[in-house]
Amino acid sequence: MVGSRQINYTVFSIEGRPILNDRVNLTNGRAQAELDLNNYSAGVYFITFEIDGKTQTQRFILE
């Protein structure tokens, strides 16, 4: 499909253990995913996005 790529993401616990990973389609520069984190404890987590060999990591707080 023209203008569509996939973006991989991984959610990590504060200890650095991967707890969730998946991929979504990136179409025309946009991606949307819904993460079900109801079974995880409140705390600090990290999410790493990877596309075209480049990665970006963001920290988030689950309350």
* pLDDT 10s digits, 1-58: 456 789 999 999 999 999 999 999 988 888 888 999 999 999 999 999 999 899 999 9
Residues 19, 43: contact at Cβ < 8 Å? no
pLDDT for residue 16: 97
pLDDT for residue 3: 61
Residues 48, 54: contact at Cβ < 8 Å? no
Residues 16, 23: contact at Cβ < 8 Å? no
Residues 52, 5: contact at Cβ < 8 Å? yes
The token pair at 16 is 């650095």
Q: What is the pTM of this model?
A: 0.85
